[in-house]
Structure 1
Amino acid sequence: MNLLGMIGGTSWHSTIEYYRLLNELVGEEIGKQQNPPLLLYSLNVKLMRENDPEKIKNSYLEIAQKLENAGARAIIICANTPHLVYDFVQPKIDIPILHIADAIAKEAKQKGFKKLGLLGTKPTMKGSFLHGRLAEKHQIETLVPAQEHIDETHRFISEELTQGKFTDAAKDFYLEQMQLLKDRGAEAIILGCTELPMLIKEKDTKIPILDTTQLHAQLATEFILKGNN
């Protein structure tokens, strides 16, 4: 199997989900008596909260290089928002970073979705690293909440979900935003923060959801097992 490098820590709650899913998904393919080779670097979430773009990019590059030098054959960033470093880091290393947008697009294409709603942090919703890649590489349109709801969408994530706090108020808010996005034409909703699938489950809504954590882990599992064929 291919050794996979993992960059986690933003937050550690979602990193646990990635680690669990990778072990479970690989086990489903090769048997529960085995588990995949994984190399985890868990960074301090304080890095993201400092909101220093240059420091963030260079820190992720340093970590990616450490994982590559340690033998990783690919890297997975265990969160949505840190993918903002992808265009900076990927050209400077010789192994692939498995992009979360590609995992989303694969599932969307299989289900025939061409217009998706996106919920996540403010950088994920306002930046181009996710919906720009979906549009340019995969021809998938993305909708985000109305401007007056952007701050609250971000606040619940940064102040509650990443701290391990999952409340009914947060769930009700995101379910309302999902309906508003559907009313604007979204065929499915991207839960574009790795804590959101921990809050919103398929049983909570009739609107199709795309669990980025699950889909990203599936993409990584395929890569891990390429070395087992």
Structure 2
Amino acid sequence: MKKIGIVGGMTWVSTVEYYRLINKGINEISGNLNSAECLIYSLNFEEIINKDWEGIYSILLNACKMLEKSGAELIILAANTAHYLADRLQAEISLPIINIISATADAIHQKGLEKVGLLGTKFTMETGFYKNKLAQEGIQSVIPEKQSTRDFIQDTISYELEKEIIKTETKEAFLTIIRELTDQGAQGIVLGCTEIPLLIKQSDVEVPVFDTIAIHSAKAVAFALSSK
């Protein structure tokens, strides 16, 4: 089994879920009392959000190198937005970084879908890095049309989900947003922030939901148990 290096703390709430899903995945495949061999470098998210992208890059690169020196054999960045820097980071370290967007694209292809709705931080929704990566895989993505809706999603992530606050009224608002995306032609919904799956589940939505924590964790488990 390969040792999984997790760059976490973005935020700690979703990092806990990564740890749970990775260990559960290893155990379901390997049985008995098997669990993951993993190392977690948990960052202080307050320091992250107060940096520009060059500062964030330096922090993430240091975390990746520390995991590499500590014996990790693969790395996952436990946040969707952090994958804005994934290619730059990959160029600087020898370990494979399991890309959350590529893993999600694989899951979308498995469902045979061509157009999805994308929910995430404002940066993830409004800049091209996530949509372009999906487009390279032949997948079209749409985001909420109204700026006020995207602001609401960001505020929910920052002031509720990242603090482990789950509200019924917030969930209902997200379900309305999802219905609006399906009205735009979305055949499925990408939960492109690792905190959103804490609020929205597949059982809440009629179209396929792509839980990026679960998808990313499963890909890491498969790689850790592979002979590659």
TM-score (norm 2): 0.96
Match of 1:116 in 2: 116
Q: Secondary structure at the match of 1:190?
A: strand
Using the TM superposition, give the Cα deviation of residue 87 of structure 1 relative to its aligned residue in structure 2, in angstroms. Answer: 2.4
1:135 equivalent to 2:128? Answer: no
Number of corresponding residues: 227
Summarize the Cα distance change of 1:23–1:151 in structure 2 as closer, same or farther, 3 Å threshold. same
Q: Secondary structure at the match of 1:207?
A: coil
Using the TM superposition, give the Cα deviation of residue 129 of structure 1 relative to its aligned residue in structure 2, in angstroms. Answer: 2.7
Q: In structure 2, give the amino acid aligned to 1:118.
A: L
Alpha-carbon distance in structure 2 between the residues aligned to 1:92 and 1:203:
40
Q: Secondary structure at the match of 1:130?
A: helix
Using the TM superposition, give the Cα deviation of residue 51 of structure 1 relative to its aligned residue in structure 2, in angstroms. Answer: 4.2
Using the TM superposition, give the Cα deviation of residue 25 of structure 1 relative to its aligned residue in structure 2, in angstroms. Answer: 0.5
CA RMSD of aligned residues (A): 1.3
Match of 1:103 in 2: 103
- 1:70-94 deviation digits (Å, cap 9, x = unpaired): 1211100111111122122110111
Q: Secondary structure at the match of 2:118?
A: strand
Q: Secondary structure at the match of 1:86?
A: helix
**Which segments of 5 or more consecutive residues in structure 2 lack a partner in the other structure?**
none
Using the TM superposition, give the Cα deviation of residue 116 of structure 1 relative to its aligned residue in structure 2, in angstroms. Answer: 0.7
Q: How does 1:5-20 map to 2 (within 5 A)?
A: 5-20=5-20
Instruction: Name segments (4+ residues, structure 1) moved above 4 Å.
Output: none
Alpha-carbon distance in structure 1 between the residues aligned to 2:32 and 2:132:
38
Q: In structure 1, give the amino acid aligned to 2:146.
A: Q
Using the TM superposition, give the Cα deviation of residue 198 of structure 1 relative to its aligned residue in structure 2, in angstroms. Answer: 1.0
TM-score (norm 1): 0.95
Alpha-carbon distance in structure 2 between the residues aligned to 1:23 and 1:194:
17
- 1:53-107 deviation digits (Å, cap 9, x = unpaired): 1110111011111111212111001111111221221101111110001111111
Match of 2:186 in 1: 186
Alpha-carbon distance in structure 1 between the residues aligned to 2:114 and 2:215:
17
Alpha-carbon distance in structure 1 between the residues aligned to 2:23 and 2:154:
30
- The more displaced of 75-84 and 180-189 is 75-84
Q: How does 1:41-52 map to 2 (within 5 A)?
A: 41-52=41-52
Using the TM superposition, give the Cα deviation of residue 173 of structure 1 relative to its aligned residue in structure 2, in angstroms. Answer: 1.4
